[in-house]
């Protein structure tokens, strides 16, 4: 077949369609959709029935970084600060100390059972040290798995925030492989700088992004998600340019934005949810195409040993040591250690040694791919079953909705009230997004001069407007009055 732009688009769209259909079918049988996407990519590759030759780690890495931007940003937007706040210390500890201990423990094990140097071993450990946000978000949210005692926000916070730590460790150990004379302690200042600058930049860009989204007046609602995408990439690239960790910055930025009042917020969040799924499919298809299954076969034995050690020893030890300062039941610690899924992120990170051209780069890549594959296959198919065994799951009828889920869901409200805006009211001239309106209430319509308007965040309130407000309970009306600067009689 002659490769043309039309053929690339045709093949890509067919693979995308197959992935979506296969994902829908696989969900019924409890098979992780991401595993299907990866398998379809492998089948379409040069060793599979598709025969598509793709051996360009640089393009795969570019697609991986762009995809991770969307996946992390979407996950951050959908993260409720109210649910994360109680587990913030636990989540940060797992995403920093837990990742470091996993990398060191697994790295030392690899050093003992292979002919890798200590730095090569630690590099492999660093690459697979973090849990995968795409895999965790997909499985926990896709299955709507309800867990007791803040387990779900803990796992989501860890998976969304630990990629930066794994990235820094990967770059640090890669530099030590290339220049072993530097010594281990030379990478610590770089690590601290990346994390500190990344965290600060994420918060700063979050505030700036909110200001830009709410103050700029665009003629079309569909441009607001596009604007947000631009701000996301600016946050990532600018943070990297000043020596910070871009992945950490976009996650913090998105968590901040997800918990603020934004113009057309529902449109932005729904768009990013769809884009995150698209990026997951594209990422796994690309990585499936990149790998040559025939090259993995010689490393199945060593890969299986490393996978078993990671799942049963390195990850649990890292979790238990990290959580020593916190009060938590043993079965919850076991569950956190089990839902340590590896997925696309380690495979993307494994392209860095390939591009750096180190001696064992291809071996590391193939082992990492096998470890990620087994992790998704084993751990990705069992979270519901293990939750039941450990008694950490909630019954189906008791599943709670997060504040974000409540905001996005189209629930019918039980109370309707008409509120008139007096000419001297403090809310006159303010946009709805500036009101800090309660999340459990909505302004369904505005009657203005005999005409009914459907408002959005940029709608400016005027004197004598009549607001049709819907809410779940009468108690919320006090918050509505406070937001509208009204003193009820």
277 conformational bin, left if phi > 0, alpha if psi -120 to 50, beta if neither: alpha
Whole-angstrom distance, CA of residue 195 vs CA of residue 184: 18
At 211 the pLDDT is: 92
Dihedral over alpha carbons 157, 276, 244, 187 (to 10 degrees): 70
Taking 90 as the threshold, does the pLDDT of residue 204 lie above it?
yes
At 473 the pLDDT is: 73
Spatial CA neighbour of 313 closest among 113, 167, 35: 113
Taking 50 as the threshold, does the pLDDT of residue 408 lie above it?
no
Mean pLDDT of 206-230: 90
Mean pLDDT of 130-136: 75
Compute the chain's Rg from CA coordinates: 24
Identify which has the larger pLDDT, 402 or 465. Answer: 465
Whole-angstrom distance, CA of residue 136 vs CA of residue 72: 11
pLDDT in tens, 28-67: 544 566 677 777 888 887 777 777 777 788 888 898 899 8
Which strands, in side-by-side order, build the sheet including 441-448? 415-420, 466-471, 441-448, 451-453
Mean pLDDT of 104-121: 93
Mean pLDDT of 447-451: 83
What DSSP assignment string belongs to 30-73? T--HHHHHHHHHHHHBTTSSS-B----HHHHHHHHHHHHHHHHH
User: What is the bridge-based pairing of β-strands 451-453 and 441-448?
Assistant: antiparallel
User: What is the bridge-based pairing of β-strands 441-448 and 415-420?
Assistant: unpaired
Least confident of 43-57, 121-135, 141-155, 320-334: 141-155
The CATH number for 55-398, chosen from 1.10.510.10, 1.20.1530.20, 3.30.230.10, 3.40.1710.10, is 1.20.1530.20
Spatial CA neighbour of 309 closest among 117, 108, 467: 108
- 451 Cβ neighbours under 8 A, 6+ residues apart: none
At 406 the pLDDT is: 45
Whole-angstrom distance, CA of residue 162 vs CA of residue 160: 6
Whole-angstrom distance, CA of residue 389 vs CA of residue 145: 14
Taking 50 as the threshold, does the pLDDT of residue 23 lie above it?
yes
pLDDT in tens, 64-78: 899 889 988 988 888
User: Residue 404: pLDDT band by 50, 70, 90 thresholds?
Assistant: very low
Taking 70 as the threshold, does the pLDDT of residue 165 lie above it?
yes
Identify which has the larger pLDDT, 387 or 256. Answer: 256
Considering the chain, what is the average pLDDT of its residues? Answer: 82
pLDDT in tens, 330-358: 888 999 899 888 877 888 899 999 998 88
Whether pTM > 0.85 for this model: the answer is no
DSSP code, position 466:
E
Kindly report the CATH class assigned to 411-483.
alpha beta
Judge contact between 352 and 374, C-beta under 8 A: no
Taking 50 as the threshold, does the pLDDT of residue 433 lie above it?
yes
Least confident of 307-311, 326-330, 414-418: 414-418
Judge contact between 366 and 299, C-beta under 8 A: yes
| H or E segment to which residue 452 belongs | strand 451-453
- Triad 88, 93, 99: Cα angle to 5°: 135
Q: Which two tokens stand for residue 254?
A: 């998105």
Which residue's entry shows tokens 């587990």? 87
At 221 the pLDDT is: 83
Judge contact between 432 and 479, C-beta under 8 A: no
At 138 the pLDDT is: 67
Mean pLDDT of 428-436: 81
Judge contact between 437 and 476, C-beta under 8 A: no
Q: What percent of the chain has pLDDT over 70?
A: 88
Q: Domain spans of the chain?
A: 55-398, 411-483
- 301 Cβ neighbours under 8 A, 6+ residues apart: none
Taking 90 as the threshold, does the pLDDT of residue 101 lie above it?
yes
Taking 50 as the threshold, does the pLDDT of residue 407 lie above it?
no
At 144 the pLDDT is: 57
At 1 the pLDDT is: 47
Count H helices and E strands in the chain, helices first.
Answer: 24, 4
391 conformational bin, left if phi > 0, alpha if psi -120 to 50, beta if neither: left
Q: Which two tokens stand for residue 157?
A: 């916070």
Which residue's entry shows tokens 């890292």? 318
Which residue's entry shows tokens 């009914």? 452
């Amino acid at each position: 077949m002659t490769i043309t732009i039309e053929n690339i688009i045709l093949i890509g769209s067919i693979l995308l369609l197959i992935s979506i259909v296969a994902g829908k079918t696989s969900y019924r049988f409890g098979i992780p959709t991401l595993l299907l996407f990866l398998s379809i990519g492998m089948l379409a590759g040069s060793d599979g029935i598709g025969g598509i030759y793709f051996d360009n780690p640089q393009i795969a890495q570019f697609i991986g970084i762009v995809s991770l931007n969307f996946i992390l940003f979407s996950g951050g937007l959908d993260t409720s600060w109210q649910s994360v706040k109680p587990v913030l210390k636990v989540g940060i500890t797992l995403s920093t100390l837990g990742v470091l201990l996993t990398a060191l423990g697994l790295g030392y094990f690899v050093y003992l059972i292979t002919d890798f140097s200590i730095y090569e071993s630690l590099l492999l450990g660093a690459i697979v040290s973090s849990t995968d946000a795409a895999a965790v978000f997909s499985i926990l949210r896709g299955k709507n798995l309800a867990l007791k005692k803040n387990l779900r926000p803990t796992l989501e916070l860890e998976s969304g925030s630990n990629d930066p730590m794994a990235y820094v460790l990967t770059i640090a150990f890669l530099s030590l492989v290339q220049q072993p004379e530097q010594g281990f302690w030379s990478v610590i200042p770089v690590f601290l700088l990346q994390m500190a600058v990344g965290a600060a930049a994420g918060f700063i860009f979050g505030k700036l992004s909110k200001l830009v989204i709410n103050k700029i007046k665009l003629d079309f609602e569909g441009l607001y998600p596009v604007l947000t995408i631009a701000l996301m990439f600016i946050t990532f690239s600018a943070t990297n340019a000043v020596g910070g960790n871009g992945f950490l910055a976009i996650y913090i930025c998105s968590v901040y934005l997800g918990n603020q009042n934004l113009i057309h917020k529902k449109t932005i969040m729904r768009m990013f949810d769809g884009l995150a799924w698209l990026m997951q499919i594209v990422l796994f298809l690309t990585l499936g195409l990149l790998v040559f299954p025939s090259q993995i076969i010689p490393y199945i034995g060593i890969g299986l040993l490393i996978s078993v050690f990671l799942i049963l020893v390195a990850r649990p030890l890292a979790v238990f040591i990290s959580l020593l300062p916190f009060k938590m039941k043993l079965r919850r610690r076991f569950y956190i250690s089990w839902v340590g899924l590896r997925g696309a992120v380690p495979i993307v990170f494994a392209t860095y040694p390939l591009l750096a051209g180190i001696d064992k780069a291809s071996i590391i890549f193939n082992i990492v791919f096998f470890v990620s594959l087994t992790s998704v296959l084993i751990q990705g198919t069992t979270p519901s079953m293990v939750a039941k065994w450990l008694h950490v799951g909630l019954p189906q009828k008791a599943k709670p909705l997060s504040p974000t889920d409540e905001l996005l869901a189209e629930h019918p409200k039980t109370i309707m009230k008409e509120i008139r805006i007096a000419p001297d009211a403090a809310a006159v001239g303010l946009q709805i997004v500036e009101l800090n309106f309660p999340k459990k209430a909505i302004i369904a319509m505005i009657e203005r001069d005999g005409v009914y308007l459907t408002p959005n965040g940029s709608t400016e309130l005027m004197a004598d407007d009549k607001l049709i407000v819907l809410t779940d309970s009468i108690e919320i009306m006090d918050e509505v009055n406070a937001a509208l600067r009204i003193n009820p009689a």
